[in-house]
Amino acid sequence: MNSMSEDKKQILELVKEYYNHHHKDTDEYSEGDRIAYAGRVYDEEEMINLVDSALDFWLTSGRYCAQFEKDFSKYLGVKYCLLTNSGSSSNLIAFMTLTSPLLKERQIKRGDEIITVAAGFPTTISPILQYGAIPVFVDVTIPTYNIDVSQLEAAVSEKTKAVMIAHTLGNPFDLEKVKAFCDKYNLWLIEDNCDALGSTYYLNGEEKLTGTIGDIGTSSFYPPHHMTMGEGGAVYTNNALLYKIALSFRDWGRDCICPSGHDNFCGHRYDGQYGLLPKGYDHKYVYSHFGYNLKATEMQASIGVAQLKKLNEFTKQRRENFEYLKDNLKDLESHLILPEATVNSNPSWFGFLITVKEGVDRNELVQFIESNNIQTRMLFAGNMIKHPCFDQLREQQSGYRVVGDLRNTDHIMENTFWIGVSPKMNKQKLDFMSKIIHNYFNKRL
């Protein structure tokens, strides 16, 4: 055993050397080098953890997964956290949790309505449609790019059961008004926090992390996000029943709560009565929901354990980069609408949103920026219901409902894009991005 420990120690020391020789970021930048909107930021600790987990060769969830769930719960200040294989899976679990019969009269059933927005990413609404519930699309506001809370009352009906929306590019939606609306009508609130980890919101005089104010929050750990595992995500809540249901949906839909590699964790493996099964049927193979296998692996979690230690610094850098870029572009406000933080919030920005004003061609500006080796992105779907996946639903005029005309959503689809503010940025990169945008307008004037 001691020999094995010494061998591992030696291997991990070599991993550290390997990182320093082959992976360490020198932060060197020459004007004209490609500027990605985001990317992984890591050091030797992530690589050491990754190799450590590989040497254990426990390929499913294990000690690193348990450690991450414990550490992430502590960071968020919530009671329960489940690690998943992606942010999309987290959204699926969060929504499906609310369809459980265990929730009785608050269970979401097929045909029930869920208030959301069309200006965002598809995996916020895919679970709603795939289950057979009805998304109700509400417009957003500019320049916060979040749900227009003045339209919530027009969106509610006797079929409404929940609100499921994302904090757009790190900017929190108006949690005070959305939460009050949900409380008024006894609605569930799912916070899609995949683009906003580290953002905070002041509610009732207290600063809280986004994702922890609603009934369920979700995160994504895809490489461009605020921290990464390569692939990975999380679902979190303070509600013990929702946690129990979410765990079931994540782990095949089973009733059993045994961790991977453990049997009879509850001590009642063979003495229960479930459904129409014979009494004493092996509890490890009793299914209370139609679930999935959406667990993460030890290798993913090992990276996350190291990344989480850096998250506060990542958040600080994102905020500083955002403010620096905004200051540098303020003189272009006659041509551009610059982003604004939601009142009572302190965003951990995922990106820097820009909407062009009348007379400016968004596509021309984007292509000019891209031609100078700067990566840009649209605000994801722009207007989700305009995409090919909605063709049949649109033709049949069924499966979803729209409140108003989604005017701002369409405006974003036609006139908005964003550039990066990730911790991979430095002042040279931010200055160059600002310079190129200024050059575009200098050539036009």
Active site residues per annotation: 225
Q: Lay out the sheet containing 80-84: strands in order across.
A: 80-84, 233-237, 216-220, 188-192, 160-166, 113-117, 134-138, 401-402
